[in-house]
Amino acid sequence: METESSISDSKPKEVDVVFIALFTGDGLVYLKRREDDDIEPGKWCLPSGHVEAGEANLAAAVRELKEETGITVNGNDLEYILDFSHNLNGTDYRVWLYSMQDSNLSINDVRVFPEEHSAKRAMEIDALRSMELMRGKGEFVLTEIDARIVREQIKNLTEKYAHKTARENAQKSKIRSPVPNVD
């Protein structure tokens, strides 16, 4: 006879994962999963990974960004966007999405670690919005969770960062503009 304890122990738990939308001066950074990866091999993904037992989600995002790209940040550099549940092949994931924009970074600043990924790429925002990325055709195919993020969040994120970049550029041009002589 099953007890309440054994029933609750047998329930599958959600696996916490973090995804980081890293916007550089070249575009949004994607990494290509190795062909022998156990989850969606050969597909492209944002820097992402599992939250370790006892680890805070933000700490996991900072750690995963470092492990997957070589870029070191602190928690203040990342912005929490949202979290959502997603079932992939019978596993329930709790996806925690963070973002970061640094127009001083380029795709050349992103390292590829061969034990995790086989390539890197910065995608222009217009290309990301192309539905071909999510139809499973061509060379650039996103993982299922990444395709969902693009469908549901990229437009909002890119508009937000476009406004931020425009403000920063306007401030820079004011600093560089010579002050006219008034006699």
The rounded Cα 46 to chain-centroid distance in angstroms is: 4
| Higher-pLDDT residue of 128, 114 | 114
Beta bridge partners of 31: 45, 120
pLDDT value at residue 26? 87
**53 within a domain of the structure (yes/no):** yes
Please check whether residue 75 is in contact with residue 62, taking contact to mean a CB–CB distance below 8 angstroms: yes
Q: Mean pLDDT for the chain?
A: 83
**16 within a domain of the structure (yes/no):** yes
**36 within a domain of the structure (yes/no):** yes
In 3D, which of 93, 83, 85 has the Cα closest to residue 39?
93
**60 within a domain of the structure (yes/no):** yes
Say how many domains are in the chain.
1
pLDDT exceeding 90 applies to what percent of the chain?
Answer: 45
The domain that holds 126 is classified in CATH as 3.90.79.10
**24 within a domain of the structure (yes/no):** yes
pLDDT exceeding 70 applies to what percent of the chain?
Answer: 76
**7 within a domain of the structure (yes/no):** no
**171 within a domain of the structure (yes/no):** yes
What is the pTM (predicted TM-score) of this model? Answer: 0.81
Which amino acid is residue 124, in one-letter code? E
pLDDT, tens only, 42-75? 888 999 999 999 999 999 999 999 999 999 999 9
